[in-house]
Amino acid sequence: MTNIDVAGAVETVAPGAKSDASHPLLTEAVPIDDHCIGNRWSVQDVSQLASITAIIAMGQAAYAAHVLKELLPATPAFTNNDLCNEAKVKLTIQEDGKKPRTGYPRWQRDGFIFEVISWIAARQDLGELALLKDPHVSATSQGIDGLMIELADNKSKVAMTTVFEDKCTEKPRETFLGKVIPAFLERHQNKRSAELVAAAAALLRTAGIGDAAAAQLSAAVMDSSQRRYRAAFALTKEYDGQVEREKLFKGYDILAGISQNQRVGASLIVSGELREWFDTVASQAIAYLDELQAKGA
């Protein structure tokens, strides 16, 4: 297997061999309050993060999952110029909406990157029997930000469902109250449940569960006692502390009848200005795609 990094170096890794690649994120449990638990994310390897983001923008989340699991240097399963160019459009800002499209509005571009980061964080922490919905390939896709299903050891039942809401905004508190909580309340009251059931059945089939059994097991996502909610925000360092987290996620207990562990507040802490940080990740991802094309993608 040939792996290409964004600096242009080429490294050969035998199929199935481990490398010294690191996880792109550091994830840790942090306290919030009596109503919810916290996760803190920070970037450990921005080059690896940018490369995996580019791979997912090429439609290859399945291979990105393999890279994360095996701790391999980030490289796609296959490449071509059209895929690279399409991925670059997803990672480029275009505010005017003119045709032909060369990018997306900043909020969509940054939202896509943050959804990828949320997916990576879950991938790094999940067990072998957890199933995770891939990030939206289209920057304009709507619907469930993320969904994770944890199976019992023998795959006979669903042990826990986690619904994600991922937000990249300069107004996290307003967004938590005005968008995240209403979205979670809809799920908690089993509104828009057909969407959740369909996504769950699709995930269950990826575990080798037959169509009929997957349809039956997907009913578990309707059970709020087996459902966890995870609200994730990209935040600057001013929000990095228990007092700030408690202020941000205050009111989570409006999701009644569940335990503290079923309400999760996750924070990606970035250095510098929020939008400038996302610009840096996008620029490195595009540079990686340029390298792939230069090497004959």
DSSP per residue, 109-148: HHHHHHHHHHHHHHHHH--TTEEEPPPPSSTT--S-SEEE
**Predicted pLDDT of residue 169:** 96
pLDDT at 188 over 90: yes
How big is the chain by its Cα radius of gyration, in Å?
A: 19
Across 9-13, 76-80, 86-90, 122-126, least confident range: 9-13
Residue 138 CB burial class (10 angstroms; 0-12, 13-18, ≥19): exposed
Q: Does residue 12 have a pLDDT over 70?
A: no
What does the alpha-carbon distance between residue 289 and residue 88 come to, in Å, rounded to a whole number? 7
pLDDT at 140 over 50: no
pLDDT in tens, 30-60: 999 999 999 999 999 999 999 999 999 999 9
Q: Is the pLDDT confidence value at 14 over 80?
A: no
DSSP state, residue 259: -
Q: What is the mean pLDDT of residues 245-250?
A: 98
How many domains are contained in the chain? 1
220 or 153: which leads in pLDDT: 220
pTM, two decimals, is 0.90
When pLDDT is averaged across residues 242-266 and rounded to a whole number, the result is 98
**Token code pair at residue 152:** 């019992």
DSSP string, 263-280: EEEEEEEESS-HHHHHHH
How high does pLDDT run on average in the chain? 89
Query: Does the structure show a pLDDT above 90 at 6?
Result: no
**Could you tell me which of 283, 291, 267, 256 has the C-alpha nearest to residue 75?**
291
Sequence-ordered strand ranges (E) for 175-262: 227-236
Domain that holds residue 89: 2-294
Burial 206-228 (b: 16+ CB within 10 A, else e): eeebeeeebbebbebbeebebbb
Mean pLDDT score, 11-30? 66
Query: What pLDDT does residue 13 have?
Result: 39
Q: What's the confidence (pLDDT) of residue 93?
A: 95
pLDDT at 79 over 80: yes
Assigned token pair, 205: 């089939």
